[in-house]
Structure 1
Amino acid sequence: MSSCEGSDPFALQVLGDSMAPEFPEGSIVVAEPDGVIESGRYVIAMHNNEYIFRQLVMEGERQLLKPLNEAYPVLEMGPEDSIRAVVVQKANRRDRKRYY
């Protein structure tokens, strides 16, 4: 992602099953760095010095990164973590969907 320019939207391929069934492995997601950050939105975050794709859940001052697959843990964002982009669209072999 380092080659993306500032606020330009970018596409990523989903790896693994942590966001299944909504985002099966191989799906392509489009993310906007300047997207509106709200609880319930799907985000690309920097967590523990790694990029991660999760659903953002805000509980008061806490920001949690929730996988859709319950086999994976919910992670709490720390002060060094940040939201890098908001997912606005998904495309895979079966369907296309927008997220606002």
Structure 2
Amino acid sequence: MSGCDSGSESFALMVLGDSMVPEFNEGEIIVVEPDGATRDGSFVLAFVGEEWTFRQLRREGEGWRLQPLNPAYPATPLPDLAALRGVVIQKALPGRRRASKRYV
């Protein structure tokens, strides 16, 4: 996967692992908006340390952190928002249209 350019279209990814439970479970589909507005509390896709990560963006003093929802995983400090590649705008369970949720 490469970085997202401004003007890119939304795309879907499947959640892997348990770092974002209880809100996002493994196997759920998230829709990411590359140009989405970020704010404290947004769920985001970021490229940090040569690795893609899905976390909640949290304000921390003058900087930011990428916070997993599962307390078994550590937060990642961010000096700025340059690592962000998109904002999660929706989630869904495959094959279950009524089990979707929007985040915008």
Which stretch of structure 1 is more off in the superposition, 76-85 or 37-46? 76-85
Q: CA deviation at 1:76?
A: 0.6
When the two structures are superposed, what TM-score results if normalisation uses the length of structure 2? Answer: 0.86
Q: Partner amino acid for 2:29? A: I
Task: State the match for 2:39 in structure 1.
Answer: 38
Moved over 6 A (4+): none
Q: TM-score, normalised by structure 1?
A: 0.89
Contact 1:9/1:33 (CA < 8 Å) preserved in 2?
A: yes
Gap regions ≥5 residues in structure 2: none
For this pair of structures, how many residues does the alignment match? 100
Q: Sort the Cα spacing of 1:4 and 1:78 in 2 relative to 1 into closer, same or farther, 3 A.
A: closer
Give % identity. Answer: 52
> Distance between the aligned counterparts of 1:81 and 1:5, measured in 2?
12
Check conservation: 1:4, 1:10, Cα contact below 8 A: no
Gaps of 5+ in 1: none
